[in-house]
């Protein structure tokens, strides 16, 4: 037997959101925070055109995409680093600082990829429990030691949908030592409507230890193509580019991401429709008697405790796939109105079950 790293025996497998079908054939996937919309015609055209060129390697530096992102946000191109999904950019970040004994601090529960990525990188996870459903930034600051190399702040937080507001975040950043990287995971930024939630890009400019993660997978609807990026000061961006596997962002993904930024207005109209549905779904759940934390993302969170698995099964029987984290709660993505109605019906029935 070849000898493998011991961590592989204990590393948690990533549980992707599942699809389910009801006995009468209905299927609504509300388990992966995807957009319910198919790609725009202009994006499909860019994908088709790029497909004709896949006998060539992609541009390894993704110059066009990098420059388009830089222009969109008014940042230097040197501050942009890409990866095949922002999950992989997080992995690249960990690879830049994974020395024996290194620690990464993050809230828990938060994005389930964090423990997996930390384990794979050989970095020790320090999980700081949520206070209620939100980040406990005081406790996170206290969890920083001389071994801490990175802190991740996920806002809106996956899976609870809660946010970190401007005053508490800047106070936190002021407490973090300069040689500790703070990663603001803003995968759901486009869904935020609370004006007190800072845009990470306004914070990184005068803070060289702050990195902002964004993705094309959620609001921009390109989850299947895998493209994400980081915006940070040049030393951080350069380090992340160094550890990227050559050609990691493929040619079709680069073209589709450029086309998506060109079609941003149309895409953000879709985001607005999802935000309206988020309000409708939450209000319906509240009137059914559920407790639902206010969400700034494209999902809602129900803290179901020991009922979590039964709730997911009841939804599945109606063709609705949710994302259970038994025995804590379930995350339900906001889909199109028909899917959301199917979910609300299942939730109401569960609420009044015998």
Q: How far is the CB of 218 from ligand PLP (least distance, A)?
A: 6
Exposed, middle or buried by CB within 10 Å (0-12, 13-18, 19+), for 8?
exposed
C-alpha dist (Å) from residue 164 to 57, 107, 186, 204: 40, 12, 11, 15
Of the pair 228, 319, the CB lying nearest ligand PLP is at 228
Contacts of 125 (CB under 8 A, 6+ apart): 103, 104, 106, 114, 115, 118, 119
Of the pair 210, 284, the CB lying nearest ligand PLP is at 210
CB-based contact 117:151 (threshold 8 Å): no
Taken in order 120, 137, 108, 156, the sign of the CA dihedral is negative
Of the pair 243, 349, the CB lying nearest ligand PLP is at 243
- Which pair of structure tokens corresponds to residue 198? 């800072």
Of the pair 198, 228, the CB lying nearest ligand PLP is at 228
Query: Rule CB under 6 A: which residues touch ligand PLP?
Result: 33, 85-87, 111, 154, 158, 185, 187, 215, 217-218, 223, 228
Q: How far is the CB of 219 from ligand PLP (least distance, A)?
A: 11
Buried-state track 81-104, b at ≥16 Cβ within 10 A, e below 16: bbbbbbbbbbbbbbbbbbeeebbb
Q: How many Å apart are CA 297 and CA 340, to the nearest integer?
A: 15
Q: How far is the CB of 270 from ligand PLP (least distance, A)?
A: 17
Q: How far is the CB of 15 from ligand PLP (least distance, A)?
A: 13
Of the pair 111, 311, the CB lying nearest ligand PLP is at 111
Element (H, E) at 107: strand 103-108
Half-sphere exposure of 61 (CA within 13 A, CB side): 7
C-alpha dist (Å) from residue 256 to 65, 214, 270, 307: 9, 16, 17, 41
Taken in order 61, 62, 63, 68, the sign of the CA dihedral is negative
Q: How far is the CB of 52 from ligand PLP (least distance, A)?
A: 26
Of the pair 20, 154, the CB lying nearest ligand PLP is at 154
Q: Measured at CB, which residue is nearest to ligand PLP?
A: 85
Q: How far is the CB of 125 from ligand PLP (least distance, A)?
A: 15
Q: How far is the CB of 324 from ligand PLP (least distance, A)?
A: 16
Of the pair 253, 346, the CB lying nearest ligand PLP is at 253
Residue keyed to tokens 């199109």:
336
């Amino acid at each position: 037997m070849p000898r493998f790293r011991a961590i592989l025996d204990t590393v948690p497998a990533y549980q992707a959101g599942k699809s389910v079908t009801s006995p009468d054939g209905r299927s609504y996937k509300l388990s992966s925070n995807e957009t319910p919309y198919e790609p725009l015609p202009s994006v499909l055209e860019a994908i088709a055109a790029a497909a004709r060129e896949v006998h060539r390697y992609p541009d390894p530096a993704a110059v066009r995409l990098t420059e388009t992102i830089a222009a969109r946000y008014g940042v230097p191109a040197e501050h942009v680093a890409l990866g095949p999904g922002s999950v992989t950019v997080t992995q690249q970040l960990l690879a830049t600082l994974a020395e024996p004994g290194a620690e990464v601090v993050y809230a828990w529960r938060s994005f389930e990829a964090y423990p997996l990525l930390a384990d794979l990188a050989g970095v020790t996870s320090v999980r700081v429990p949520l206070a209620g459903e939100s980040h406990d930034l005081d406790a996170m600051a206290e969890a920083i030691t001389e071994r801490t190399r990175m802190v991740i702040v996920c806002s809106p937080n996956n899976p609870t949908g809660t946010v970190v507001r401007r005053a508490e975040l800047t106070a936190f950043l002021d407490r973090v030592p300069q040689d500790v990287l703070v990663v603001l995971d803003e995968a759901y930024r486009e869904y935020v409507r609370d004006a007190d939630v800072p845009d990470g890009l306004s914070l990184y400019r005068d803070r060289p230890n702050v990195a902002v993660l964004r993705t094309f997978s959620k609001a921009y609807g390109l989850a299947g193509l895998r493209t994400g990026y980081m915006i940070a000061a040049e030393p951080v961006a350069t380090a992340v580019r160094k550890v990227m596997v050559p050609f990691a962002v493929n040619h079709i993904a680069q073209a589709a991401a450029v086309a998506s930024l060109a079609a941003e207005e149309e895409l953000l109209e879709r985001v607005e429709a999802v935000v309206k549905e988020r309000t409708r779904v939450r209000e319906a759940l509240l009137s059914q008697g559920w407790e639902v934390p206010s969400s700034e993302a494209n999902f809602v969170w129900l803290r179901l405790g020991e009922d979590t698995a039964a709730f997911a099964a009841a939804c599945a029987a109606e063709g609705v796939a949710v994302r259970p984290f038994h025995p804590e709660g379930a995350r339900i993505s906001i889909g199109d109105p028909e899917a959301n109605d199917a979910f609300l019906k299942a939730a109401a029935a569960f609420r009044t079950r015998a």
